[in-house]
Amino acid sequence: MRQNRMLAILLGVLATLVLVVGGLSAVLLLSGKGGTSGTTTGNNAGGSGSTAASGRLRLPGTDPSTMDPHLASDSTSAEYIVEVFSGLVTISPDLKLQLDLAKSVDVSPDGKTYTFVLRDNATFHDGRKVTTDDVKWSIERAASKQLASPTAMSYLSDIVGMPEYFQGKAQSISGLEVMDAMTIRFKIDAAKPYFLAKLSYPTSFVVDRKQVEANPRNWTRKPNGTGPYVLSEWRLGERISLTANEKFYLGTPKLKEAVYLISGGSALTRFENNELDVAPLSINDIERAQDPGQALNKLYKQTPQFSISYLAFDSSKPPFDDVAVRRAMGYAIDRKKISDVTFKKMLAPASGIMMPGLPGYTTDVKTLQFDANAAKAELAKSKYYVGAPVAGKTAMPTITLTEVGGGASAGTDTQAYIDSWKNILGLNIEVKQLDFASFLADQSAGKLQMFGAGWVMDYPDPEDLIDLKFHSKSALNENHYNNPAVDKLLDEARTLADPNRRLDLYRQAEKLIIDDATWLPLYYTVAHQVVSPNVKGWIDPPMVLPRLRFLEVTR
Amino acid sequence: MTAYVLRRLLWLPVLLLIVSFATFALARFGPGDPIAVIAGQVRDPVVIAQIRADRGLDRPIPQQYLTWLSRAVRGDLGESYAQRGFEVSELIFPRMWISAQLGLVALIIVFAVGVPLGLLAARLAGTWMDPMIIGTLLFLQAIPVMVLIPPLIWMFAVKWQLLPVGGWDGIFALYWIAGVIAIPIPNPHLYIPLVAFTLPGFVGVARLVRITALEVNLEDYVRTARSKGLSEMTVQFKHVLPNALLPLITVVGFALAGIIEGAFFVETLMGINGIGRMTFEAVTSRDYDVILATTVVFASAFVICNLIAEIVYGFVDPRVRIGGSSRS
């Protein structure tokens, strides 16, 4: 009897589980059906009568960390933000600085005053006209103490009075002056030729005051921007849909809708399954795409990116206080061979610090090229000895290379460098892997003797790389590089009006930096993708830029 | 009974208080700073210090904790550092739902596979099959999830291209027969994660069932049942199984803990956007409020599951009378 009761209870439990699972699956199936078959329409894109925009582009995506242009500091977020919002100036896919919300800009002879006049037809997505009050309010919001934007000081601090405002010592930014509803004047602290390029960054984008004030925490779910696309749907972890803003002031975008699919497995599998129009290629797929005999090869595109990886030496820490040690290690690594073997040629060996396409870049090779004998000769010049003691020299201190990583072993390329240093120079270098947050903490505390890192350009001007990373006073000079000759060149380049002479100064600085071997530039990033034949005029710029409106999808 | 459950539930807030403070302090004392992580590559120390001050991260840790606590009791779990503009609750509940579905399926598989396997092994006791089954199971159980997943991915997804590499696409997928009839099948995205997920669990269950079934098989009433001439099927399912299952109820609690623990590895390695992966990401980006919220949720789930297991045990086995009230 008791066993029957027990059996009954157990059966009951089982039945409940079955019911729960059954109900669950029904819900899932229904919601899944709604998700895949329903076409999404923009909240204010329809009904305008214009049918100029057409086509639907399906891209792989990631949830942005924010849709707020004033807070974003990562390229994932920026990719959406540059389509939904806009600012006074922008950068075109061929990297030219162009007017955007502004129809004209007048620079004073001393290079310190910029007067912008807005376009008459520039509106927010809801149809409201953009005025200079919107521009001023937006920039003051971005620079405000309350918002505490991580990018404000980097992008806006050239404006007179901005640092005081950011610290809460001023009521407004004194260098921002509204002349009339359509004219606004910016005063900057020195004639900086790269100031306009900085203004193209989302920190200076225009947001809708009314919307932000009405809903400070959640307005970014349905932002009322001024850009070519409207954020029509954002389902966390599932999809983001951008729909063409048919009233866009530079003309109706060609592409009607872009859908970023966030969940799901391998992008290439989904591409081949016709679920995506574009897919990045991983190292597992690259050989297939590069094989001319494969169907995928016809759809394969590779584009260089404004991004570089490097190893950095802290010259305040032995043995890197000795330039000979740094140079020896530089000569001992074979970028090309390592790229061919471990990266299957997916990355381009760095020929300098400035990457291809960047103003100032030259094609000649500047980095220390692999040469085992030169490496040994450099090490012999050093004040440290390796192996048997040498009179008058000090023993080589322990060297630890720190990199971001989750595993116990070094990255495949790091392992190859370590082997080269061991085989050619007899150096035993330890690798320490840290998670990103701990790495940053140790880096900013100046604890890293040697580390691997990368840099992605924010705007196409060498100042954003050479000055920020190598000026002895820059907060981003993480390996404490200090060369007065370099500082002098960089100081001069900051305010030089002649663009050719200015780029030349950066090239001279680059040469000095490479000869000092404070960085071993490793690779330029290259994007490898397959793009559906339905996409016409595919653009993959080397940095994040508005591009959707130039694309066409035939389907 | 009711009093016992209530008393246990009253302990929950105390437990959560301890857990949340420990997590809070660990995160704050650990290296790294969420602001530095979200600041991107242009990290100006002055700006970072300013943002830290605005977020209250420069205040003493007990004070920070009290601020968090006073908000949390009102249901406000804070705002994510990594995804600014999102409340923690908005972020964690959709992802908990994904993990819950996965965990439930895993739990069902653990018992659906483990129980018959254990009974079989017990039935075959004394033959060469029994040590072979148990040996194989022990071997399988010894493989950590982290070690198991990469070869599974390599074999089934990369080499033979039979299964997707990972990701989440719901529990069920539609399988079309001749393009007309659609039948729901378990989503192929889940095959590898579920194998990795359930292997240690069902092996544990199978071994436990084997041992208890072996004991039960020696009981007088089983012998009596057999001598009555009942079929082996009836003996196994009516007499052996119910009694062998009893200890399993306590195991449900542990199995659930194992599934939660496994979720960290499985979801992270298989690209499933569940709560385990989210916790992992939150830890790496030092997203303080998300780490706290997930820890508190996990702790609550753990306590409640164990409580349910105890209550069910009390119902099923009349010898167990929890709470001391002798009502028989």
Contact A334, A419 (CB under 8 A): no
> How close A54 gets to chain B, by Cα (Å)?
28
> How close A251 gets to chain B, by Cα (Å)?
31
pLDDT average, residue stretch B306-320: 74
Cα torsion for A68, A69, A71, A76, to the nearest 10°?
A: 90
Residue A220 contacts B where some CB pair is shorter than 8 Å: yes
> Residue B105: its chain A contacts at CB < 8 A?
21
pLDDT in tens, B193-209: 888 888 878 888 888 88
Predicted confidence at residue A200, as pLDDT, reads: 94
Paired tokens of B275 = 């709560």
> How close B304 gets to chain A, by Cα (Å)?
17
> Residue B120 pLDDT more than 80?
yes
Asked if B36 and A151 come within 8 Å (Cβ–Cβ), the reply is: no
Interface subset of A 367-386, CB within 8 angstroms of B: none
Predicted confidence at residue A253, as pLDDT, reads: 94
Contact B41, A155 (CB under 8 A): no
> Residue B328 pLDDT more than 70?
no
Residue whose pair of structure tokens reads 């960054």 in the numeric block: A201
Question: For every one of its 555 residues, what pLDDT tens digit does chain A have, with 9 covering 90 and above?
Answer: 444 554 455 445 444 444 444 444 444 433 433 333 333 333 333 333 345 678 999 999 988 888 999 998 888 899 999 999 999 999 999 899 999 999 999 999 999 999 999 999 999 999 999 999 999 999 999 999 888 888 888 899 999 999 999 988 999 999 999 999 999 999 999 999 899 999 999 999 999 999 999 998 889 989 999 999 999 999 887 889 999 999 999 999 999 999 999 876 678 878 887 889 999 998 878 888 888 988 889 999 999 999 999 999 999 999 999 999 999 999 999 999 998 888 888 999 999 999 998 999 998 888 999 999 999 999 999 999 998 888 889 999 999 999 988 665 667 789 999 999 999 999 999 999 988 888 888 888 889 999 999 999 988 999 999 999 999 998 889 889 999 999 999 999 998 989 899 999 999 999 999 999 999 999 999 999 999 999 998 988 999 999 999 999 987
Which residue does chain B place closest to A454, by CA atoms?
Answer: B41
DSSP class of residue A542?
S
> Residue B169: its chain A contacts at CB < 8 A?
263-265
Q: How far apart are CA B314 and CA B307, in angstroms?
A: 11
pLDDT in tens, B56-84: 888 888 999 999 999 888 888 888 888 87
Q: How many CA atoms lie within 13 A of A260 on its CB side?
A: 22
The pairing of beta strand A97-99 with beta strand A89-91: antiparallel
Site from B33, B46, B48, B50 to mutate, A interface, most A CB atoms within 10 angstroms: B50
Closest Cβ opposite residue B47 in set A74, A150, A237: A150
Closest CA to B122 of B214, B204, B238, B226: B214
Q: How far apart are CA A410 and CA A423, in angstroms?
A: 17
Q: How far apart are CA A172 and CA A368, in angstroms?
A: 50
Interface subset of A 309-348, CB within 8 angstroms of B: none
Asked if B36 and A166 come within 8 Å (Cβ–Cβ), the reply is: no
> Residue A220: its chain B contacts at CB < 8 A?
85
Kindly report the CA angle at B184 between B182 and B187, in degrees rounded to 5?
125
Q: How far apart are CA A431 and CA A407, in angstroms?
A: 11
> How close B224 gets to chain A, by Cα (Å)?
15
pLDDT in tens, B28-37: 888 888 888 8
Predicted confidence at residue A264, as pLDDT, reads: 64
Predicted confidence at residue B320, as pLDDT, reads: 62
Please report, as a single letter, which amino acid is at residue A45.
A
pLDDT in tens, B144-187: 888 888 888 888 877 787 777 677 777 787 777 777 777 778 88
Q: Is B72 left (phi over 0), alpha (psi -120 to 50) or beta?
A: alpha
Predicted confidence at residue A301, as pLDDT, reads: 92
Question: Measuring CA to CA, how many Å separate A85 from each of A58, A66, A160, A399, B130?
Answer: 21, 13, 25, 47, 68
**ipTM for the complex shown:** 0.71
b/e map of A244-278 (b: 16 or more CB within 10 Å)? bbbbbbbebbbbbbbbbbbbbbbbbbbbeeeebbb
pLDDT average, residue stretch B91-106: 86
Q: How far apart are CA B88 and CA B81, in angstroms?
A: 9
Closest Cβ opposite residue B271 in set A3, A265, A476: A265
Contact A418, A333 (CB under 8 A): no
